[in-house]
Structure 1
Amino acid sequence: MVLQAYIDDSGDDDVFALAGFISSAEAWAKFSKEWENALGWGVLGNSGSKRFKMAEMAYLDERMERVPAFFNIISSHVLCAISFVYRKEDLVRAKQRIRLSDGRPINWGFMDNQYMLAFKHLMDLFHNGREHDLKGIIASGEKIDFIFDEQSEKRQVIAGWDEYMNTRPAAVRRLYGSLPKFEDDEDFLPLQAADFWAWWIRKWHADRINPEDSVLDFGRVKIKGAKFPRLRLWADEDHLTNNLLGVLREAHQDCAVIDLKNFSVSGAL
């Protein structure tokens, strides 16, 4: 069984999220057939065909009433949901708490890119924690291929992948599947399901609604019961500070934490 994770992003002025679903290639094939049949309820896309984009569905009340039908298709085929989310204000404060020992300005590199920062956190946290958090759902040692919606950061991810993998512990490195792929969501329909989940994860976090509650709040419609296991990953100011420090130190930058508050390096992710 080949497992595939389809992931998309959603962001606003306050929150950024990467989220999606994991299932087998066979299940995704069945999902795609059902989803394609339901796209008559969607919105006309760039190619002239109907598509599902949650932001477009949220634009009109009559479209929102169709959302549960799409959710039911997702629920019938996915193995689990995963997400990573952070608040942009926490990232700003985290950067303010770090300085180089010689006082030079910090070149944050890829950490100034909200997508790249979330990508690294998602990859790190998921592969470090899946053996515990998804035990019994995903077999121990099972590799997962990650497919993302098309992004301008695609070249940066692919160019740095080998270097990134070389910094992972051997026990964790074996859990990664093939090189991440970036595809068009009008050709790869599971990415439209990922768009659905990323939009709602971002909105729930922005509205401070707990998506782990027994009732999923889809605006005009509320659905009871957990339809599938959900792995929710996040980083607050302390976690972001610690992760930023780790990246700087990997780049051999001599840095220190200022304004310590309750921060502790021993509390690393």
Structure 2
Amino acid sequence: MNWQAFIDESVDDEFIVFAGYIATAEKWEAFSAEWERLLPYASLAKDNSYQFKMSSMAINSERMDRARAFYRVIKNHAQVGFVSILRISDYESAKTNILVYDNEKKSDVILPYPILNNPYVFMASFSMLWLWAGKDRFNLIKEIQPHHVVSFCFDERSDKKHISDSYETIRSAFPAEHILSPPPRFENDQKFLPLQAADFQAYWAREGAHGRPLPWPMIDTGMQFLRIKNTEDAIFSGLRQWIRLKYGNRYEIVDRRHMLG
């Protein structure tokens, strides 16, 4: 069985949220047909076509009332929800506290890779890992079995090459028979409507991180949700893991917080 994960981000000065939904291709096809019929009740994009953006729908009560209909479509078709929240200050602290040391040259090493310097690249790369790779995913998401394929689609981004490169490094750690996900795609959300559902989820996940939850009663459809809150220790561990995958044991990786003196 093939599954498709559509993921979008929502960002402010404090948080980066990556969120979205997973369903089969058949479910997304039915979703898109129903969503498209509702689009005249959304807002206008720059090219004067109709487009759902939760930030635009939230500007007044009339649009918020319309957004409830879109929410029902999501709940009727999406099968698994996903939210990953990162506090930007935690990422910056974890990044600062990684000391990479070259024992042969007896010197510190500055690695230029974007995943080590850009929280967007980190979140996109590890979102795919959390949803796809290893036994944890198979334990947490009952619907997706180990032999199923999961493909990932993000909204079009200027740093898509960095995200793809970082993800390939992560995938390289797994035997070929366990690589059940193709490289991520980056698409226009006006053409790939499930990305607009991901926009809905990312917006409200970020609002929820600030204590402002979805203002309507939740629709209980039994959808399974995977929620990840990235602590500073988890971020540090992820960055260290990526360096190990890229370089093996070439470098010593030290947490400055645990250094004596």
Place the TM-score, normalised by the shorter chain, in its bin. Answer: 0.7 to 0.9
Output the amino acid matched with 1:126: L
Deviation at 1:174? Answer: 2.8
Name the SS of the counterpart of 2:82 in structure 1: strand
Q: What's the C-alpha RMSD, in Å, of the aligned pairs?
A: 2.2
Counterpart residue number, 1:265: none
- In structure 1, the gaps of 5 or more residues are 210-216, 262-269
- Deviations, residues 70-128 of structure 1 (Å, cap 9, x unaligned): 11000111111112221111112212322234563633521212221001211222223
Name the SS of the counterpart of 1:182 in structure 2: strand
Contact 2:21–2:198 (CA under 8 A) maintained in structure 1 = yes
**Range moving further from structure 2, 29-38 or 126-135:** 126-135
Contact 1:57–1:63 (CA under 8 A) maintained in structure 2 = yes
Picking from 68, 85, 107, the partner of 2:111 is 107
C-alpha distance in 2 between matches for 1:226 and 1:86: 27
Moved over 6 A (4+): none
**What is the TM-score with the length of structure 2 in the denominator?**
0.86
- Deviations, residues 116-170 of structure 1 (Å, cap 9, x unaligned): 10012112222232210012x1233111111111011222234555444222355
**Equivalences, count:** 249
Does residue 53 (structure 1) correspond to residue 53 (structure 2)? The answer is yes
- Deviations, residues 192-217 of structure 1 (Å, cap 9, x unaligned): 0011111111221233x7xxxxxxx4
Counterpart residue number, 2:229: 234
Output the amino acid matched with 1:174: I
Picking from 132, 140, 146, the partner of 2:139 is 132
Does residue 199 (structure 1) correspond to residue 188 (structure 2)? The answer is no
C-alpha distance in 2 between matches for 1:98 and 1:183: 34
The structure-2 alpha-carbon separation of the partners of 1:46 and 1:25, relative to structure 1 and needing over 3 Å to count, comes to: same
Name the SS of the counterpart of 2:234 in structure 1: helix
C-alpha distance in 1 between matches for 2:169 and 2:93: 28
C-alpha distance in 1 between matches for 2:97 and 2:168: 30
Deviation at 1:2? Answer: 2.6
- Deviations, residues 219-262 of structure 1 (Å, cap 9, x unaligned): 3x33353551111123101111112222233333322112239x
Picking from 206, 209, 214, the partner of 1:218 is 214
Name the SS of the counterpart of 1:222 in structure 2: coil
Contact 1:75–1:227 (CA under 8 A) maintained in structure 2 = no
- The alignment-based identity, stated in percent, is 31
Picking from 251, 254, 258, the partner of 1:253 is 251
Does residue 116 (structure 1) correspond to residue 112 (structure 2)? The answer is no
C-alpha distance in 2 between matches for 1:73 and 1:97: 44
**Range moving further from structure 2, 150-159 or 12-21:** 150-159
Contact 1:14–1:206 (CA under 8 A) maintained in structure 2 = no
C-alpha distance in 2 between matches for 1:256 and 1:81: 35
Counterpart residue number, 1:2: 2
